[in-house]
A and B are shown apart, each in its own frame.
Chain A
Amino acid sequence: MSIIYHLKKPWKNEKRLPKTFYLTLTSFLLFVLISKTLDFFLAISVLSIFVSYYWGEKRIFYLLLVSIIFPIIVFVFFETILGLRFPPGIITNIYYQV
């Protein structure tokens, strides 16, 4: 009882969550779905472009930077320096020449 008393309506919150929050959350679901069915790397790119666009970035160069250029740098870095093998998928299979 004392715990309940101390929490004092813990779920009370005055501010409603904005649309961008739900879109970001949706992008997480999209990430899980794509990484499970299509490709891990593609999932990162799709989430990055989705989030960046809905957070307000409309310039093509920056969208390409976050969705393609940067993930490629990260991918190559992890693959070559850390010797990491990413899970198979439509894009990673091309890289691994499977």
Chain B
Amino acid sequence: MDNLLLMMAPLFSSKLLLVLFFGTLFGLILGVLPGLGPTTGGALILPFTMTLDPLSAIVLLTSIYCAGTYGGAITAILINTPGTPAAAATCLDGYPLAQKGEAGRALGMATVSSTVGGIFSVIILVFFAPLLAKLAYEFGQPEYFALAIFGLTMLASIGEGSPIKNLIAGAFGILISTIGKDFMTSIDRFTYGINELSEGIGFIPVVVGLFAISEMLTQSTLLDQVFKRVALKAVKLPSLKDYKLTWKTILRSSGIGSFIGVLPAEGGTVASLIGYSEAKRFSKKPEEFGKGSIEGIAGAEAANNAATGGAMVPTLALGIPGSATTAVILTGLIIHGVRPGPDLFREQPEFLYGIFGAMLIANILFFIFGFFGAKIFARITLVPNKILWPMIFAVSVCGTYSLSQSIIDVWIMLLFGVIGFFMRRYGFSVVPVIIGLILGELVEGTLRQSLVIFDGNWLMFLTRPIALTFFILSLIALAFPLLRSKKKKKYYD
């Protein structure tokens, strides 16, 4: 009961309500604009959060996360271009349905299923995060090491793209995390005499570079691209027939999305793809998928929004990001002096339940904004790239500079922009780099401290049941793509 009251706290604070309002609005705009999204937006807004108290700052970031994930559906349905990668599966049926003159119905279903998925995942978050945090009290350094390794191997199992490319990108992220002072010996590593690198490479320059600047370079190659826009009169609430057809799909995808979100390093994109394919598998009319199936939209959208709450579970309970955007939120927590983990649940329940409540309200707010304003938000895509991207560049540069007032950070951002562009061009996802960068420090720190505890005996890891479980799960995660490809081959043979 006390926790429920704590969750309602944002409703009684005009400041938090205002933050939620602007966060949701900003998140929707970011989600609608192809190439931008909650991860880039969160990274760009991070410097601005320094003017806010920790709760308002994290409420702002989480509302951007929730609304941005939904916003991608608007462009996916109306212009066949996912505003965010998590909305890619929505294009498959959203756009064909819109072409049939039912854009309002498609958007209505996307809005309802996103809201249900989002609220479902917040409920999961409220019940599951404290349980995981309780379990985390049993964790020592070896268990955290094994968990971080599990998070990294998950990149291979169900991440986007090629498993090996994802692992290489993750390893690259870990390599970047080793730049700077060795935390045990204080000796500079890979700094090549550049003093500014002694403190290591900041998370924000890498995120802004890999997402915003690399996208700017990508947009520079797509200038002759013409979007075909489908007209939208108004968003329509789903009919009773549509509800009857999709309620099972929405609930199933909400469950799938929440589960995928909880897994370390996996996010909305994977959730929506699995949610979509499961919707097709269970559908009575699978032949309609890809041609404008309302179940396809419901399956993808409920799953990607359900992943938001799920991804917050390991982020808050363990300090391990559940997705790329939660990695940004994790950075936000750290720069505001909040240390995620089990102690946070014991010491600052009002802070945590404030976030849970804010996420719940954000899901309701984006429903209202989406329902009444989708037509206006869709018009944002009319801002030409030749005007939009130079402006984003100016904000990226100033935002990156502002965190540590270092021009070197800006150059690092540009360098990672170029690296990110070529990674994408050759089929590497940039998300594993971010996960590797975040987990790298944890992997190295916990490994070295564990080895000190074990007196250098590696085999001692296997005497810890929780660590051993994570290692076995890591092996399964690594073997999973191999098994999956063999199963696929057998299926096609």
Residue numbers of A with Cβ under 8 A of B are 3, 6-7, 10-11, 13, 17-18, 20-21, 23-25, 28, 31-32, 35-36, 40, 44, 47-49, 51-52, 55-57, 62, 65-67, 70-71, 74-75, 78, 81-82, 84-87
5 A-B residue pairings within 8 Å (CB atoms): A17-B221, A21-B221, A32-B411, A32-B414, A55-B223
* Cβ B387 vs Cβ A56 within 8 A: no
CA distance A84 to B400 in the complex (A): 12
Q: Once the chains are docked, how many angstroms separate the CA of A17 from the CA of B407? A: 29
Known: A21-B220, A21-B221, A66-B391. A28 touches B418 (CB 8 A): yes
CA distance A24 to B196 in the complex (A): 27
Q: Shortest distance in angstroms between B491's beta carbon and chain A's nearest beta carbon?
A: 20
Q: Which residue of A lies closest to B402 (CB)?
A: A84
A14 to B: closest C-beta gap in Å: 11
Contact: B407 with A35, CB < 8 Å? Answer: yes
Contacts of A10 in B (CB 8 A): 165, 426-427
Question: Is A48's CB under 8 angstroms from B390's CB?
Answer: yes
Interface core residue of B162, B220, B391, B425 (most chain A CB under 10 Å): B220
Within 8 Å by CB of B402, from A23, A25, A82, lies: A82
Q: Is the CB of A25 within 8 A of B386?
A: no
Q: Which residues of A contact B427 (CB under 8 A)?
A: 10
Q: Note all chain B residues with C-beta closer than 8 A to A35.
A: 407, 410
Chain B residues whose CB sits within 8 angstroms of the CB of A78 once the complex forms: 47, 398, 402
Contacts of A52 in B (CB 8 A): 386-387, 390
Interface membership of chain B positions 417-456, coded 1 if the CB is closer than 8 angstroms to chain A and 0 otherwise: 1100000011100000000000000000000000000000
Task: Tally B residues with Cβ within 8 Å of A.
Answer: 37
Structural contact, A24 and B220, CB atoms closer than 8 A: yes
Minimum C-beta distance from A12 to chain B (A): 9
Chain B residues within 8 Å of A, Cβ to Cβ: 47-48, 50-51, 162, 164-165, 168, 216-217, 220-221, 223, 384-387, 389-391, 393-395, 397-398, 401-402, 405, 407, 410-411, 414, 417-418, 425-427
Q: Which residues of A contact B50 (CB under 8 A)?
A: 82
Tell me the minimal C-beta distance from A17 to chain B in angstroms: 6
> For B390, what are the chain A residues with a Cβ–Cβ distance below 8 Å?
47-49, 51-52, 66-67, 70
Question: A7 contacts which chain B residues (CB < 8 A)?
Answer: 162, 164-165
Residues of A within 8 A of B389 (CB): 51, 55
A54–B194 Cα distance when bound, in Å, is 34
A57 contacts B386, CB within 8 Å? yes
Q: For the complex, what is the distance from the CA of A75 to the CA of B426, rounded to whole Å? A: 36
Q: Say whether B387 contacts A28, CB under 8 Å.
A: no
Per a CB cutoff under 8 Å, which of A44, A62, A81 touches B51?
A81
A6 lies within 8 A of B426 (CB): no
Contact B217 A25, beta carbon cutoff 8 Å: yes
Residue in A3, A23, A44, A81 with the greatest tally of chain B CB atoms within 10 Å = A44
Q: How many whole Å from B425's CB to the nearest CB in chain A?
A: 6
User: A6 to chain B: closest CB distance in Å?
Assistant: 5
The residues of B that contact A25 with a CB separation of less than 8 Å are 217, 418
Complex CA distance for A28 and B217, rounded to whole angstroms:
10
